[in-house]
Structure 1
Amino acid sequence: MTRLLAALVLAVTGLVLVPAAPASAAARVTVANPDGDAVVDPTYATTLTVRGTGFQTVKGGHGGVYVFFGAVKGTWQPSRGGATGQDYWYVPDSEARDNQGFQRYVAFPGSDTAGSANGGVMSANGSWSTSVVVPGATFRAYDRSSSVRTVDCRELTCGVITIGAHGVKNGRNETFTPVRVASLRQATPTAAPTAGSTTDPATLPAAVPTSAPLPTVAAAPGSPTGGAAPAGGEVPVAGQAAPGVATLEVDRASAVAGNVLAFTATGLPAGRQVTVVLDDGAAGAGPFLVGADGGTAGVLTLPEDAAAGTHELRVHGVDDPPSVSFAVVGAEPAPAAAASGDRSERAGLLFAGAAGLVLLVAVGRAAYPLLRAWRVRRAA
Structure 2
Amino acid sequence: MRSHLPRVHRLIGRLLALTLLAATLVTGLAVATTAPASAAARITVTNDQGTSAADTKYRTELTINGSGFQVVKGGFGGVYLMFGWVKNPGSGSWKPSKGGVTGEDYRYIPDAENAAQNQGYLKFIAFPGSSTASEANAILNKNGSFRIKLTVPGPTFQSVDRTGKVSTVDCTKVTCGVITIGAHGVKNPANETFTPVRFTTVYGAAPADQGQASTDTPEAAAPEQAQEEAPDAAAAPEAEAPAAAAAGAPKLTTDRLTAKVGNTLAFTATGFRPGEQVLGVLDDGRAGIGPMVAGPSGEVAGILPLPADLEPGTHELRLTGAATGAQASERFAVRPADQAAPSQAVADDDGPGAARIFLVAAACLFLLALLGLGLRLLLHRRRRRPGPPAVGATA
TM-score by length of 2: 0.54
Structure 1 segments (4+ residues) deviating >6 Å: 33-37, 181-185, 210-213, 261-266, 354-359
> Which amino acid counterpart does residue 371 of structure 1 have in structure 2?
L
Is 2:118 the partner of 1:118?
A: no
Aligned residues of 1:164 and 1:174 also touching (Cα < 8 A) = no
Is 2:71 the partner of 1:58?
A: yes
Is 2:96 the partner of 1:78?
A: yes
The match for 1:366 is 370
Alignment partners' CA distance in 2, 1:274 and 1:186: 31
The match for 2:267 is none
Map of 1:192-203 to 2, 5 A cutoff?
none
Shift of the 177–374 alpha-carbon distance from structure 1 to 2, 3 Å rule, reads same
Alignment partners' CA distance in 1, 2:135 and 2:63: 19
Q: CA-to-partner distance for each residue in 1:322-365, whole Å, 9 max, x for gaps?
A: xxxxxxxxxxxxxxxxxxx9xx9xxx99xx7x998886555433
Map of 1:279-294 to 2, 5 A cutoff?
279=305, 293=324
> Which amino acid counterpart does residue 151 of structure 1 have in structure 2?
T
Aligned residues of 1:57 and 1:108 also touching (Cα < 8 A) = no
* 3-state SS of 1:156 partner: coil
Is 2:204 the partner of 1:178?
A: no
Shift of 1:212: 11
The match for 1:243 is 275
* 3-state SS of 1:19 partner: helix
Q: CA-to-partner distance for each residue in 1:178-226, whole Å, 9 max, x for gaps?
A: 24277977599559xxxxxxxxxxxxxxxxxx9999xxxxxxxx94499
For structure 1, which runs of at least 5 residues remain unmatched after alignment? 192-209, 214-221, 227-234, 256-260, 308-340
1:92 to 69, 86, 110: 110
State which structure, 1 or 2, has the greater radius of gyration over its C-alpha atoms: 2
Map of 1:305-344 to 2, 5 A cutoff?
305=336
Is 2:54 the partner of 1:39?
A: yes
Shift of the 56–266 alpha-carbon distance from structure 1 to 2, 3 Å rule, reads closer
Alignment partners' CA distance in 1, 2:301 and 2:104: 19
Q: CA-to-partner distance for each residue in 1:97-126, whole Å, 9 max, x for gaps?
A: 444333211234454533222145447362
Is 2:180 the partner of 1:162?
A: yes
Shift of 1:161: 1.5
Q: CA-to-partner distance for each residue in 1:246-295, whole Å, 9 max, x for gaps?
A: 2313154274xxxxx99997852453333343339x99x99x9x999595
Shift of the 98–275 alpha-carbon distance from structure 1 to 2, 3 Å rule, reads farther
Alignment partners' CA distance in 1, 2:361 and 2:273: 79
Is 2:329 the partner of 1:298?
A: yes
Shift of the 306–104 alpha-carbon distance from structure 1 to 2, 3 Å rule, reads same
Alignment partners' CA distance in 2, 1:241 and 1:24: 51
Shift of 1:128: 1.4
Q: Identity percentage over the alignment?
A: 23
Shift of the 6–357 alpha-carbon distance from structure 1 to 2, 3 Å rule, reads same
Aligned residues of 1:224 and 1:291 also touching (Cα < 8 A) = no
Aligned residues of 2:159 and 2:168 also touching (Cα < 8 A) = yes
After alignment, is 128-137 or 65-74 more displaced?
A: 128-137
Alignment partners' CA distance in 1, 2:49 and 2:25: 57
Alignment partners' CA distance in 2, 1:27 and 1:59: 17
Alignment partners' CA distance in 2, 1:35 and 1:94: 28
Shift of the 70–355 alpha-carbon distance from structure 1 to 2, 3 Å rule, reads closer
Alignment partners' CA distance in 2, 1:150 and 1:14: 55
Shift of the 119–134 alpha-carbon distance from structure 1 to 2, 3 Å rule, reads farther
The match for 1:318 is none
Alignment partners' CA distance in 2, 1:188 and 1:152: 27
Alignment partners' CA distance in 1, 2:363 and 2:278: 70
Shift of the 115–6 alpha-carbon distance from structure 1 to 2, 3 Å rule, reads farther
> Which amino acid counterpart does residue 61 of structure 2 have in structure 1?
L
Aligned residues of 1:251 and 1:262 also touching (Cα < 8 A) = yes
Alignment partners' CA distance in 2, 1:134 and 1:49: 11
> Which amino acid counterpart does residue 71 of structure 1 have in structure 2?
W
Alignment partners' CA distance in 2, 1:125 and 1:241: 45
Shift of the 279–54 alpha-carbon distance from structure 1 to 2, 3 Å rule, reads same
> Which amino acid counterpart does residue 167 of structure 2 have in structure 1?
T
The match for 2:126 is 107
Shift of the 84–37 alpha-carbon distance from structure 1 to 2, 3 Å rule, reads same
Aligned residues of 2:280 and 2:290 also touching (Cα < 8 A) = yes
TM-score by length of 1: 0.56
For structure 2, which runs of at least 5 residues remain unmatched after alignment? 1-11, 212-221, 227-246, 252-269, 309-313, 339-345, 386-395
Indicate the RMSD between aligned Cα atoms, in angstroms. 5.4
1:132 to 142, 151, 154: 151
Shift of the 178–358 alpha-carbon distance from structure 1 to 2, 3 Å rule, reads closer
